[in-house]
Structure 1
Amino acid sequence: MQNQEGLQADGEVDSATSAPSTQFDDWANFADNDIMQQQSSIQAEEAEKIPFEPLSSLAAEYQSGSTILLEKIKVLSEQYAAIRRTRGDGNCFFRSFMFSYLEHILETQDRAEVDRIKANVEQCRKTLQSLGYTDFTFEDFFALFLEQMESVLQGNEDSISHDELILRSRDQSVSDYVVMFFRFVTSGEIQKRSEFFEPFIMGLTNATVEQFCKSSVEPMGEESDHVHITAISDALGVPIRVVYLDRSSCDTGGVSVNHHDFIPADSDLPSASGSKTISPFITLLYRPGHYDILYPK
């Protein structure tokens, strides 16, 4: 699931097929302007695709596969209406988180949440500085994320629509910078709380906390697991729900789908009822090695 960039075109399913060699020969004969026209045509075609797929499209993928997965998809369909796919390039968790969070701000226009996240981002900046990172190594990534967050607030000259958010999320020059922002934030949080994260990291690798961050958190294309999700949730104060679609059997005899809510440590987020119970507004679907976005009914 590697070597793919950007948010996957909505409704598009990854293909393992490759083009015949003659097709590559044809491409070699294109002039530069022909290639640019071809790319523009592809981008225009992608932009016209539907925003997301009904959850029933998942079932179609497994028609000839595992029965338990089909049963679990039926259970999922009781709570969730649609899925938005992301590219399987090792950055799928961060890309899914990026789009889902910005989409949430665009739909709710929650300026208080934007102010809150800005304060957390400033703390993340100070964390990296205290760890010895120089500003030029991460500042551009931070600036672009803040710019994207401001752009989904309406009423400004630079405000964008939902369609424009989709296009920006597919734009590698934008999405890769935001992914790197998340990776630096995650790395800073793990190193700042190294005593907390060290036992979890030791369960994954023999590397030290710092080595783990340098080799498995900060580089593009490195896949994410519970350590990354816990760290980014805590650092930004954003609760995240991960729903697991796998072949694990159910002890009760019936079919159920497990999920885990990553609730920020020492969270001061308000809940709908005023109690301590917090419902994540970001829901991701995890299938072994890959994350997509789920939309509740």
Structure 2
Amino acid sequence: MADAPTDDVDTSRQPWDGGGQGTGPSNSAPTGGAGDPAAPERPSDEDILAQQNQIRAEQARVSEYVGNEEPMSALKEEYINGNQNFVQKIAKLEASYSTFRRTRGDGNCFFRGFIYSYLESLLLARDLTECDRIKSVIQEWKGKLVDGGFQALVFEDAMDVLLEQVAEISKPYTNFAHDKLLVDMRDDTISNLIVMLLRLITSCEVQRREDHFFPFILGMYDEPPATVELFCQRHVEPMGEESDHLHIVAITDALQIPVRVVYLDSSGLPTGGGSGLDATVHDFVPDSCVPGTHPRVHLLYRPGHYDILYAKGG
């Protein structure tokens, strides 16, 4: 699930098909003695990367960074002939959520869904107080990033782009303004600059609070990176790296934006006399928020992917 590398896909290289039958340079050991079946060829790292990039490039041609709103029934239809636990969970979610919006599965889906949903909520609610607050928070992050060792030249343009989006949202609501937000978040330059900025802020937040986050990092990998800085360089800052619990905690704390994630996975316990499963729900509410603060952003998690949810009644 990577975004940036898709422009560099080597289309002349055949993708590895998983069978190892002559689909790329061989790194395998010689075959055994007479009568022994030939050992499957192990694909090179370059072959595997080429295959992944080709898959991502194909997906980029058929899906927007941020899709259109769809009824929850469209989500349920995906599993109607398969995972019945998912079907039951989605059916229960329909009581709370009316629609959802897909994001491209490119590894940046959390950050893109998070910021689009947040900006859209400001636009629809005409929450000028929150617009002013987030502008101040973003501007404060310029100094924090520089203090954290990030060069202003790297992130200043991205920060200006995000601030411009907030400024547009501060204007009176029109359908055009709503449409423009969607168009902007589908634009390669605008959308990816904003995602890059969010990744840098997340990295800086994790490194600023090293004592808090390092135990989580140790628990995430059999061979964890030796330092928080190395973890961020490998798993936070690069475009296309998937996000998990740690990333969500860091960015919600950094920007003070509460988020609810609904997990459509194998977790959950039977409810209603065993009549089905409830999706697990987790609220990420920064300590700086006043007690009782409701999430501004609602995201749906499916293994390896995040989409946007729309609660009934706004």
1:287 match: 302
Alignment partner of 1:168 is 2:184: yes
Paired letter, 1:178: I
CA contact 2:270–2:278 (8 Å) conserved in 1: no
2:35 match: none
2:102 match: 85
Indicate which of 288, 296, 302 corresponds to 1:266.
288
2:236 match: 217
The TM-score normalised by the length of structure 2 is 0.74
Indicate which of 154, 160, 180 corresponds to 1:143.
160
**CA deviation after TM superposition for structure 1 residue 53, in Å:** 0.4
CA contact 2:2–2:106 (8 Å) conserved in 1: yes
Alignment partner of 1:51 is 2:68: yes
**CA deviation after TM superposition for structure 1 residue 247, in Å:** 2.4
Higher mean alpha-carbon deviation, 249-258 vs 79-88, is at 249-258
Q: Distance in 2 between matches of 1:50 and 1:116?
A: 28
| Aligned residue runs from structure 1 range 186-197, under 5 A | 186-197=202-213
Higher mean alpha-carbon deviation, 205-214 vs 192-201, is at 205-214
1:21 match: none
2:39 match: none
The runs of 5 or more residues in structure 2 that have no matched partner are 6-60
Indicate which of 143, 149, 154 corresponds to 1:132.
149
CA contact 1:127–1:192 (8 Å) conserved in 2: no
**CA deviation after TM superposition for structure 1 residue 50, in Å:** 8.6
Paired letter, 2:280: N
CA contact 2:252–2:259 (8 Å) conserved in 1: yes
Q: Distance in 1 between matches of 2:255 and 2:3?
A: 28
CA contact 1:4–1:87 (8 Å) conserved in 2: no
CA contact 1:245–1:257 (8 Å) conserved in 2: yes
CA contact 1:141–1:177 (8 Å) conserved in 2: yes
Indicate which of 130, 133, 153 corresponds to 1:116.
133
For the structure 1 residues 50 and 96, does the alpha-carbon distance in structure 2 shift closer, same or farther, using more than 3 Å as the test? Answer: closer
The runs of 5 or more residues in structure 1 that have no matched partner are 6-41, 269-275
**3-state secondary structure, aligned to 2:261:** strand
Indicate which of 196, 201, 215 corresponds to 1:185.
201
1:296 match: 311
Computing the radius of gyration from Cα coordinates, the structure with the larger value is 2
Indicate which of 83, 107, 122 corresponds to 2:124.
107
Higher mean alpha-carbon deviation, 115-124 vs 182-191, is at 115-124
**CA deviation after TM superposition for structure 1 residue 171, in Å:** 0.6
Residue deviations 1:54-74 (CA, integer Å, cap 9, x gap): 000011100111111111111
**3-state secondary structure, aligned to 1:84:** strand
CA contact 2:88–2:277 (8 Å) conserved in 1: yes
The TM-score normalised by the length of structure 1 is 0.78
Q: Distance in 2 between matches of 1:67 and 1:133?
A: 47
2:278 match: 256
Q: How many residues align?
A: 250
* Higher RCO (Cα < 8 Å, 6 or more apart): 1
Q: Distance in 1 between matches of 2:93 and 2:195?
A: 28
For the structure 1 residues 264 and 136, does the alpha-carbon distance in structure 2 shift closer, same or farther, using more than 3 Å as the test? Answer: same
2:28 match: none
Indicate which of 159, 162, 169 corresponds to 1:152.
169
Indicate which of 80, 94, 109 corresponds to 1:63.
80
| Aligned residue runs from structure 1 range 31-46, under 5 A | none
Paired letter, 2:204: G
Q: Distance in 1 between matches of 2:143 and 2:97?
A: 39
1:8 match: none
